[in-house]
């Protein structure tokens, strides 16, 4: 999986994202909450207009919200909202800012980052992209350019019925061999 430091040696957009995050001071301001890059940029399926996602852990969401208002409230496009979570989810705070050409979304829950749904989805998506190679990156990008969200695009390619967000979490419970074997049989395009 790609970390913030790995973005520095990634493709051109990943390097730009890295420099944007470093230059903005966002990572330093959020350091106590272990900001972790997630979403489409780290796994190289972003399209023009994609945002940079940062996942954070915040034991106290009220204190986190106070911090981001204090530290980021003056930044371009600042918006912040709280959510009570959905079925099976924990409450969260989402803040958005614009840094240079990048919209940045900061998402915090009391849940450790490695157990947050966005992180788990990204791990499964990364594993599938490693199996599919360039053909998978191209297929998912094409769907995203048509307006598809990431998880529904993966579900479509795999012929998954039902809620794509829940189904991606289900796939995450499988070991690597089972996931890859199943994906080889169910992927709707040719790869390798």
**The residue to which tokens 């918006």 are assigned:** 79
Q: Please, what is the Cα angle at 135 between 188 and 12, to 5 degrees?
A: 145
- Taking 90 as the threshold, does the pLDDT of residue 1 lie above it? no
- Taking 70 as the threshold, does the pLDDT of residue 87 lie above it? no
Residue 180 lies in a domain: yes
Q: Residue 89 — pLDDT band, cuts 50, 70, 90?
A: confident
Q: Please, what is the Cα angle at 118 between 151 and 128, to 5 degrees?
A: 50
Residue 129 lies in a domain: yes
**pLDDT per position as a tens digit, 146-189:** 999 999 999 999 999 999 999 999 999 999 999 999 999 999 99
User: In whole angstroms, what is the distance from residue 125 CA to residue 155 CA?
Assistant: 10
- Taking 80 as the threshold, does the pLDDT of residue 86 lie above it? no
Which of 73, 96, 111 is a domain's end point?
A: 111
CB 146 within 8 A of CB 121: no
Q: Say yes or no: 74 and 100 in one domain.
A: yes
Average pLDDT over residues 101-120: 96
107: three-class secondary structure by DSSP: strand
Q: Please, what is the Cα angle at 182 between 179 and 185, to 5 degrees?
A: 145
Q: Say yes or no: 54 and 130 in one domain.
A: no
User: In whole angstroms, what is the distance from residue 101 CA to residue 51 CA?
Assistant: 9
Q: Say yes or no: 134 and 165 in one domain.
A: yes
**pLDDT per position as a tens digit, 14-72:** 999 999 999 999 999 999 999 999 999 999 999 999 999 999 999 999 999 999 999 99
Q: Say yes or no: 27 and 63 in one domain.
A: yes
Q: Say yes or no: 63 and 126 in one domain.
A: no
User: In whole angstroms, what is the distance from residue 25 CA to residue 27 CA?
Assistant: 6
- Taking 80 as the threshold, does the pLDDT of residue 3 lie above it? no
Structural domain span for residue 141: 117-186
pLDDT of residue 88: 67
Residue 192 lies in a domain: no
Give me the number of domains the chain comprises.
2
pTM of the model: 0.94
Please state whether beta strands 36-38 and 52-57 pair in parallel, antiparallel, or not at all (unpaired): antiparallel
pLDDT of residue 105: 98
């Amino acid at each position: 999986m790609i970390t913030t430091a790995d973005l520095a040696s990634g493709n051109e957009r990943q390097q730009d994202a890295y420099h944007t995050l470093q230059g903005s001071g966002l990572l330093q301001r959020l350091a106590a909450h272990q900001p972790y890059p997630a979403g489409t940029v780290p796994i190289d399926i972003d399209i023009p207009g994609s945002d940079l996602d940062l996942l954070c852990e915040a034991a106290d969401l009220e204190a986190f919200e106070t911090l981001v208002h204090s530290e980021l409230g003056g930044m371009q496009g600042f918006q912040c909202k709280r959510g009570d979570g959905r079925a099976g989810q924990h409450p969260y705070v989402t803040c958005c800012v614009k840094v240079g050409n990048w919209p940045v979304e900061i998402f915090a829950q009391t849940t450790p980052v490695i157990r947050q749904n966005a992180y788990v989805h990204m791990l499964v998506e990364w594993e599938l992209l490693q199996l599919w190679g360039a053909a998978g990156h191209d297929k998912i990008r094409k769907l995203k350019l048509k307006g598809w969200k990431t998880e529904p695009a993966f579900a479509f390619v795999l012929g998954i019925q039902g809620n794509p967000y829940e189904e991606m979490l289900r796939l995450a419970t499988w070991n690597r061999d089972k996931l890859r074997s199943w994906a080889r049989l169910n992927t709707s395009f040719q790869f390798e």
